[in-house]
């Protein structure tokens, strides 16, 4: 299916998985950037569960004109978990976002030999996490909540604000294993002024996506487009290419009754503010 009628000019996808990776991916980083530039998108953010992507992003942006390319670091086992040294190096390399543990989080399934990383194993956030938050604040980077549980996120957000973190993005709150109820989202938005990243991968347009699109649309209405960022979380071989997926997402939002202004706020303005490219 083509979406040539959908204007992606100025749009930003904050969540894309490209090759090289330890998993097969649909496209490599350069191919993704070229497609984004061709569609008129303003920026993309490359994400990996196992390694830094900020350095790759710098090289890709130098090779592909017409689109800004950013990267970050997910605090999983391959980088030492919640590791302030790795975070500091990533930020010095230009990381735009630091994600709390994703595939290594305590609510993912793990073998006994590799237990999940807990943010607050004894009910209080571990000291290393506080160091990470201070580093994120000092570089004015984005804090992504990753695959933390709702309880962990509720501990993290006030600590992040106290540390001076200005940019907080709750990673795919509707997607497993997070699955944050909308009423909790509204409460966190009210208390901590955070943004929520709603990913296309959660919907039946993608393989294994189980959240009906009309349900996602209702959550956006309930919590508010002003606190929403739309991303794809695409790159899997079985799903559409990220740029095509983003266009399909926009198409379905418009069909669900969202205005062009709302869609632009969620897909361009809000992410641009987070990246500092507004």
Residue 51 lies in a domain: no
Asked whether 58 and 33 are in contact (CB, 8 A), the reply is no
pLDDT category at 110 given cuts 50, 70, 90 is: low
**Could you tell me if residue 148 is inside a domain?**
yes
What whole-number distance in Å separates Cα of residue 70 and Cα of residue 67?
Answer: 10
What pLDDT score does 114 carry?
Answer: 77
CA torsion 50→142→128→163, rounded to 10°?
A: 180
Q: Report if residue 138 sits inside a domain.
A: yes
Question: How far is residue 235's CA from residue 243's CA, in Å, rounded to a whole number?
Answer: 10
pLDDT one-digit tens code per residue, 50-97: 999 999 999 999 999 999 999 999 999 999 999 999 999 999 999 999
Residue 110 lies in a domain: yes
Handedness of CA 110, 184, 181, 47 (dihedral sign): negative
Mean pLDDT of 145-149: 97
Q: Contact 243/41 with Cβ under 8 angstroms?
A: yes
Residue % of the chain over a pLDDT of 70: 97
**How many structural domains comprise the chain?**
1
Range of the domain at 102: 74-275
In a domain, 192, yes or no: yes
The predicted-structure confidence for 123-142, as pLDDT tens digits, reads as follows 999 999 999 999 999 999 99
Is residue 34, in this structure, part of any structural domain at all? no
With 0.95 as the threshold, say if the pTM is over it.
Answer: yes
**Helix or strand (DSSP H, E) at 35:** helix 29-38
Residue 61 lies in a domain: no
Tokens 């205005």 belong to 259
Which CATH number is 253's domain given?
A: 3.20.20.140
Q: How confident is the model at residue 1 (pLDDT cuts 50, 70, 90)?
A: low
DSSP state letter for 152: H
Do the domain assignments include residue 5?
A: no
Task: Evaluate whether 220 touches 263 at the Cβ level (below 8 Å).
Answer: no
209 near 201, Cβ under 8 Å? yes
């Amino acid at each position: 299916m083509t979406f040539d009628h959908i204007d992606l000019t100025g749009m930003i996808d904050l969540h894309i998985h490209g090759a090289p990776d330890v998993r097969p991916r649909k496209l490599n980083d350069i191919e993704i950037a070229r497609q984004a530039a061709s569609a008129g998108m303003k920026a993309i953010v490359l994400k990996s569960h196992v390694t830094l992507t900020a350095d790759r992003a710098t090289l890709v942006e130098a090779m592909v004109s017409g689109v800004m390319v950013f990267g970050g670091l997910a605090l999983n086992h391959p980088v030492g978990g919640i590791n302030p040294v790795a975070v500091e190096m990533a930020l010095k390399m230009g990381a735009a976002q630091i994600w709390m543990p994703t595939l290594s989080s305590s609510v993912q399934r793990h073998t006994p030999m590799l237990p999940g990383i807990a943010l607050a194993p004894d009910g209080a956030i571990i000291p290393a996490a506080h160091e990470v938050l201070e580093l994120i604040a000092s570089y004015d980077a984005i804090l992504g909540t990753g695959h933390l549980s709702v309880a962990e996120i509720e501990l993290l957000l006030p600590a992040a604000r106290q540390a001076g973190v200005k940019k907080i993005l709750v990673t795919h709150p509707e997607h497993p294993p997070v699955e944050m109820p909308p009423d909790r989202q509204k409460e966190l938005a009210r208390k901590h002024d955070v943004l929520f990243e709603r990913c296309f991968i959660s919907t039946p347009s993608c393989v294994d996506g189980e959240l009906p699109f009309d349900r996602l649309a209702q959550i956006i209405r309930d919590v508010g487009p002003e606190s929403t960022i739309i991303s794809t979380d695409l790159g899997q071989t079985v799903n559409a290419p990220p740029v095509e997926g983003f266009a399909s997402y926009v198409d379905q939002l418009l069909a669900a009754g969202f205005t062009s202004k709302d869609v632009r706020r969620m897909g361009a303005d809000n992410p641009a503010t987070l990246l500092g490219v507004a």
